[in-house]
Amino acid sequence: MRFILRNPLTRHAEYPPRVVAQPWRLVALTATALACATAHAQTDQPVRIGLIVDQSGVYSAITGKGSITAAQMAVEEHGGKVLGRKIELLTFDHQSKADTAAAKAREWYDNGVDAIQDVGGSAAALAVLSIAKEKNKILVMSGPASDRITGDLCGSTAAHWAYNSYSLATTVGRAAAERIGKNWFFITADYSGGHDIVKATTRAISTEGGRVIGEARHPLNAQDFSSAVIQAQSSKADVIGLANFGNDLVNSIKASREFGINPESKQKLASLLMYINDVHSVGLKTAQGMLLSEAFYWDMNDETRAFSKKYFAKVNAMPNMSQIGAYSSIRHYLKAAEAAGTTDAKAVMAKMRELPINDVLTRNGKLREDGMMVHDMHLFQVKAPTESKYPWDYYKLVSTVPADKAFVPLSESACPLVAKR
């Protein structure tokens, strides 16, 4: 029943008063309900990390299944969840094709993938980097070499983890110029990764009085290296710098030995990016005496041995620095997400830069503002068969280059994000 109270001085009023919903209140209530529903839905969604790796192309042996296994180990160590949400690991075979890698990156980012990792091969990595910058999404690369990733093409949500051309050239290029000879000839993979490492090595050897007297380029996944090797042999260079990787590196070493460039020869081979997998493929008899640089070796200490034996049980091979890089970068990403309390790309990347990296790859590693994770690099020499005492006992440690010497100083960085001091 509704009563009407009459007052000669006022309009009629109803009692009890009629409740009239105000439009702004409905909008506010609806927005709040939607926000709560969205937040609840997000907490139910897994945190998705995508690995774009070469599983069937020229780099499959040095990234591929090994990088995927290392990433899985990082997720398992973190308990399979972050921020109370399940971690979902996605994988894709880019087959060493840049356009294929970029298309998958765009698809993944558009469909809610929170971060992409690894991306072995510089051409594929640079293509994916452009998509990550466009989408403002996290991309952490442990497989490619290109200095441009943290140079002129750097991105605020991108990071380069295990090594780059500069660090390899600084470590092995300078050592070879000092120990072996000053005149260099390059056998180069004809793409961005090969070109970058030749550029970096040319700079590095010049500091030791070295010079380049020739170069032979070949396509990726080349089948015949005889022409390149003959050119190198005819040049009379002291050092034949192998600026190629994966299967191309293995086949160019084999071809060089077939043409008489042996450990006892006056001309010496120096690999600018050689992994333990490559040494295993060619064998100690063929690879002995070669200098190389890696950020990681499985037999360095008790921690590296313990981790590597667990890894070996899954893959039947010892890990290299790119594969360990995938483990380290995902482990650090998950720690940073926990510390940030969110998967927002900028917030997580800020925490990744703030937190030190301490794991099986490095001690007190630091992610700089240009996106480079700086850490010590090691110069190794491949053992002779008589020096190897057990399976995968392949390296002798020659020296260690500290992080502040191994990577380009920020004062010389080409990254637009770096404040010049």
Euclidean distance between CA atoms 407 and 147, whole angstroms: 10
Who's near 133: CB < 8 A, 6+ residues apart?
Answer: 155, 156, 157, 158
Structure tokens at 125: 């990595």
Same fold, 47-163+300-375 and 166-294+379-404: yes
Single-letter amino acid, residue 111: N
Phi, psi of 4 (to 5 degrees): -110, 120
The pLDDT of residue 257: 96
Beta bridge partners of 82: 85
> For the chain, which residues make up each domain, given as ranges?
47-163+300-375, 166-294+379-404
The pLDDT of residue 61: 87
* Model confidence pTM above 0.75: yes
Q: Among residues 364, 375, 372, 419, which one has the least CA distance to residue 401?
A: 375
Quickly list H helices, 319-402. 321-340, 345-354
47-163+300-375 CATH: 3.40.50.2300
DSSP for 54-90, written as a single string: -SSSTTTTTSHHHHHHHHHHHHHHTTTEETTEEEEEE
Orientation angle between helical segments 98-110 and 122-135, nearest 10 degrees: 30
Q: What is the pLDDT along the chain (421 residues), one digit of tens a residue?
A: 333 334 333 333 443 444 344 443 333 434 444 444 444 445 679 999 999 999 998 888 899 999 999 999 999 999 999 999 999 999 999 998 999 999 999 999 999 999 999 998 899 999 999 999 999 999 999 999 999 999 999 999 999 999 999 999 999 999 999 999 999 999 999 998 899 999 999 999 999 999 999 999 999 999 999 999 999 999 999 999 999 998 999 999 999 999 999 999 999 999 999 999 999 999 999 999 999 999 999 999 999 999 999 999 999 999 999 999 999 999 999 999 999 999 999 999 999 999 999 999 999 999 999 999 999 999 999 999 999 999 999 999 999 999 999 999 999 999 999 976 5
- Domain 166-294+379-404 CATH class label: alpha beta
The pLDDT of residue 231: 98
Euclidean distance between CA atoms 99 and 154, whole angstroms: 19
